Structure 1
Amino acid sequence: MNFIKSILGKTKKYEFVFDENGKHQLGGDMPTDFIIPNNEFKSNFQYLGFINNDDEVFNWLPFKLNLICPIYLDIDQVFLDYENPNQPKLLYPKNTSEIGSAYKTLDLNSKVIYEAQKFSLREFDGVTEDNEFYIKGIAGKPHWDQKHDIPICPKTNNKMKFVCQLTSWNDVPTKYTNVVAEDDYEQNLFSKMNFWSDGNLYVFIEPKAKTVCYFIQNT
């Protein structure tokens, strides 16, 4: 009986598969009706694409989720209030001007825009040593680089629900940047989407509070 319960209750895992007809997108230009929250982050927020709740896997999302995060900074957890899905408000951190970065050349005017890559979801068995450097993104159940870390919603104190995980192996190239790094190695890190070079970006939501959390883990 316990075995049957474990099978029935098992969370399905999905990988991102690039598909020109896919419902979801990594990168691309920010929608014209989407407004970035006021902040003083060095490099501001990066627009990372969207997750479409038209897909049955994500039909529990309260809206189409535009993904934004200041991925070049030394962030802990970034909480955004999406009560207005096209004009989220920053809940945390408050001290945006004080958040540091490994990249000394970043400033308030730094921009990084990525090429648009449409994708679909495909069920898979999970991350292994054989496929870990080929996975573009994950939905259903996170694969932790470090500790198991489910964020708590600051508005409701409820545990948040996993939306997706973006990897540094997604091969999404940069379309435009005005960042001039200190050396070729560092400049190369601005040539494609990545999260602290070899990390993963985790995205969680509290659907009722419409609050989203972003954070990065790497090995």
Structure 2
Amino acid sequence: MAALQSFLYFATLVAILIPVSAQLTPDFYDKLGGPAYKVLLGRRDSRTASKNDANTNLPPPFFNFSQLLSNFQSHGLNLTDLVVLSAGHTIGLARCTTFRNRIYNDTNINYNFAASLKIRCPRTGGDNNTNPLDSTTTRFDSQYFRDLLAKKGLLHSDQELFKGDGSGSDPLVKYYGYINPDRFLTDFSASMIKMGNMKPLVGTNGEIRMNCRKVNN
């Protein structure tokens, strides 16, 4: 689907910022290998935007599994939505400040992976240094799940989706990672559409934009 000032939580922001443009400019997904999905047009959009409201609804990178699931459920989303939308992290970068605590304090992390990250993200300084959210960050694929299975999730909130004890979302991570990777693309599309339809404006609230990128004059 973390605070906006910390990093691009792609799965969430993509639903807010680019669903129509992704449909109308297929190069975006074609070049990255992402799934095509139909966006419902004619919905009403807000005339204003609030960074504070966005930050309030975005789960931070230190959330545990229960907190993540509760956050998604509060918006009418389920466990599958949580897992596939989190995998929007198959693309993008995160700042050192969002994963520093994980690489120095978490135990559910690959030793060599953590060691390599400590070079880019020291205990002090380097806050704005970045690292890819998964190991194939220029491809929209299911590598995100395989990284979690190898305990190489960059963010604490990512690795919380796979603890290796069969609990929580462990089965789904295994399913998308190895059993049926192609199903991830299908389910991601479905969850994106579902998230895009959350709490639509009705009546005279908002407006139907003539250009999806800006408010009407």
TM-score (norm 1): 0.23
Pick 1 or 2: higher relative contact order, CA cutoff 8 A, min separation 6.
2
TM-score (norm 2): 0.23
Higher strand share: 1
